[in-house]
């Protein structure tokens, strides 16, 4: 994490016919493939031979821009105009806090694709920012067993959500500065951000919302030890596909497609990947081959080869690649050093779910919590500044209960890292047999530590004998570390 990488230039699809859904599909921190991929698998033509048709687009919204000649200080500077940064800016500015957002392209539509559980967005009043909803989700455990979940899943409209957040920021007086942040220097009660255009902006508080690659957030390096989720996805026009258009495919763990690619089967058996699919209609579908978590990361070229084999087996012939993307998400590992003199939110704040890679809904939900703490300190008659300010805000984001629960989610990741394809299938077969309160709460990061322990006991009870054997033989090390960490945190 030595170089700052702001969100990459926008990629969106070529205009589709009327009534075609706008594009926004996946979890968090996904980087679009900027170049046309030309490759072949087994000497046969595949979707990898097609050029991606994406092109840049910018939103048309009037913003208040930072005036370089203005030497006055802001209450808060937020680095990054992704969902985390804009949601926080909108929320904290509603308290009267004077905010400036720094980003190389504040009006560029997001390249990231987001899929969310509908109830999560509904709880935040953001249902209007979903442009496609599937009433059910499907889990293909294997060729013989399929599970159907009655929890609606939605696709976020990137354009609609960003427009809503930018308009909220504009109405609250948030200012924007079009540049990259190069350096942050701290004094006792204020900080200065030096930018790529030579300007310097000052504030009482700096918040980083630029993601994992920011150099402004400090970590305990020896304890990082991430797992990695990697995926390749395309939004495609196809001749046809076998999926039900009123069901979103959350996970397809079938491996019958490996029959035509025997060289891939052994590796997939040890480090499995699954298909994530959003069918919009019979001809338009988002498809993504995903390695849930591995350490080290599964090679990207292998993920693409598996996807080619899977689509060929399913009889899916791609006519056009409207969008493509590469998703690489560090998962688990240590939290940032808490507290420190830059606040983090989103990926840089440790909010990625260690077991699933999901982040966007949780970040949007926690931004008001961080905003309230910022407003209390920056707007109070006591005027908290410096270490006291950052300590208070970091503590609001990472309460003791949230930190303990996160350790448990990291234990979940460590368990998944030790399972092969058969063990992974058995795990999810038992997991989605749990009371929906537990599996829904786990996926949405909203269970308390006590509820997580109850989930574990219930999961063990639902597990098959081979799955119980996996847990007993492969998880003692991670379990011992979890117990030790929780014991230390309780002291």
| Domain parsing of the chain, residue ranges | 64-131+154-218+334-398, 401-490
Give the whole-angstrom CA distance, residue 66 versus residue 177: 5
Tens digits of pLDDT across the chain (491 residues): 333 333 333 333 333 443 444 433 344 434 344 333 333 434 446 888 898 888 878 999 999 999 988 778 999 999 999 999 999 999 999 999 999 999 999 999 898 789 999 999 999 999 999 999 999 999 999 999 999 999 999 999 999 999 999 999 999 999 999 999 999 999 989 999 999 999 999 999 999 999 888 889 998 765 568 899 999 999 999 999 999 999 999 999 999 999 878 899 999 999 999 999 999 999 999 999 999 999 999 999 999 999 999 999 999 999 999 999 999 999 998 899 999 999 999 999 999 999 999 999 999 999 999 999 999 999 765 678 889 999 999 999 999 999 999 988 999 999 999 999 999 999 999 999 999 999 999 999 999 989 999 999 999 898 889 888 887 887 777 777 777 766 666 65
Whole-number pLDDT of residue 471: 79
3-class secondary structure, 480: helix
Q: How far apart are CA 479 and CA 412, in angstroms?
A: 10
pLDDT in tens, 227-277: 999 999 999 999 999 999 999 999 999 999 998 788 999 999 999 999 999
Q: Is 225 left (phi over 0), alpha (psi -120 to 50) or beta?
A: left
Predicted confidence at residue 34, as pLDDT, reads 37
Q: Is 17 exposed, middle or buried (CB count within 10 Å of its CB: 0-12, 13-18, 19+)? A: exposed
The pair of structure tokens assigned to 178 is 């079009």
Instruction: Give per-residue pLDDT as tens, 68-93.
Output: 887 789 999 999 999 999 999 999 99
| Predicted TM-score of the model (pTM) | 0.87
- Written as six digits, the tokens of 74 are 């802001």
Q: Judging by DSSP bridges, how do beta strands 74-79 and 99-103 pair with one another?
A: parallel
Whole-angstrom Cα distance, residue 78 to residue 367?
12
Q: Specify the CATH architecture of the domain 64-131+154-218+334-398.
A: 3-Layer(bba) Sandwich (3.50)
Return the pLDDT at 72: 81
Ordered DSSP codes for 291-339: EEEESSPPPHHHHHHHHHHHHHHHT--EEEEEEEEEEEEEESSPPBPSS
Q: In this structure, are residues 157 and 483 in contact, taking their beta carbons and an 8 Å threshold?
A: no
Amino acid 334: pLDDT: 87
The dihedral of CA 233, 235, 239, 244: what is its sign? positive
Q: How far apart are CA 325 and CA 319, in angstroms?
A: 17
């Amino acid at each position: 994490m030595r170089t700052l990488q702001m969100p990459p230039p926008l990629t969106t699809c070529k205009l589709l016919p009327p009534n075609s859904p706008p594009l926004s599909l996946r979890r968090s921190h996904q980087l679009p493939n900027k170049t046309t991929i030309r490759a072949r698998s087994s000497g046969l033509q595949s979707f990898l031979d097609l050029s991606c048709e994406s092109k840049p687009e910018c939103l048309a919204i009037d913003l208040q821009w930072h005036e370089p000649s203005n030497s006055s200080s802001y209450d808060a500077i937020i680095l990054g105009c992704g969902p985390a940064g804009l949601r926080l800016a909108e929320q904290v500015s509603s308290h009267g806090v004077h905010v400036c957002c720094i980003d190389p392209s504040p009006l560029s539509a997001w390249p990231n694709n987001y899929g969310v559980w509908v109830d999560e967005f509904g709880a935040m009043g953001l249902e209007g920012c979903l442009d496609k909803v599937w009433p059910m989700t499907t889990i293909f455990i294997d060729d013989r067993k399929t599970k159907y979940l009655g929890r609606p899943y939605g696709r976020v409209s990137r354009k609609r959500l960003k427009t809503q957040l930018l308009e909220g920021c504009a109405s609250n007086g948030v200012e924007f500065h079009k540049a990259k942040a190069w350096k942050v220097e701290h004094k006792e009660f204020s900080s200065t951000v030096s930018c790529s255009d030579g300007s310097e902006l000052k504030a009482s508080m700096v918040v980083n919302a630029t993601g994992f690659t920011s150099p402004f957030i400090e970590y305990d390096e020896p304890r990082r030890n991430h797992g990695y989720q990697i995926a390749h996805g395309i939004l495609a026009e196809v001749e046809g596909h076998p999926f039900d258009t009123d069901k979103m495919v959350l996970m397809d763990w079938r491996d019958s497609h490996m029959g035509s690619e025997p060289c891939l089967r052994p590796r997939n058996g040890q480090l499995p990947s699954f298909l994530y699919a959003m069918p919009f209609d019979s001809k338009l579908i988002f498809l993504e081959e995903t390695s849930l978590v591995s350490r080290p990361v599964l090679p990207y070229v292998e993920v693409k080869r598996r996807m080619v084999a899977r689509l060929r087996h399913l009889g899916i012939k791609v006519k056009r690649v409207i969008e493509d993307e590469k998703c690489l998400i560090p998962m688990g590992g240590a939290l940032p050093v808490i507290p420190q003199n830059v606040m983090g939110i989103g990926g840089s704040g440790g909010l990625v779910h260690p077991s699933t890679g999901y982040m966007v809904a949780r970040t949007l939900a926690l931004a008001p919590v961080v905003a309230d703490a910022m407003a209390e300190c920056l707007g109070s008659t006591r005027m908290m500044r410096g270490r006291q300010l950052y300590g208070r805000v970091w503590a609001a984001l990472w309460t003791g209960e949230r930190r303990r629960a996160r350790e448990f989610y990291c234990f979940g990741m460590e368990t998944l890292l030790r399972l092969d394809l058969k063990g992974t299938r058995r795990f999810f077969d038992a997991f989605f047999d749990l009371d929906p309160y537990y599996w829904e709460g786990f996926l949405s990061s909203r269970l308390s530590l006590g509820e997580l322990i109850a989930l574990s006991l219930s999961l063990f009870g639902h597990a098959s004998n081979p799955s119980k054997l996996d847990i007993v033989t492969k998880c003692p090390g991670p379990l011992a570390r979890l117990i030790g960490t929780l014991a230390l945190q309780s002291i």
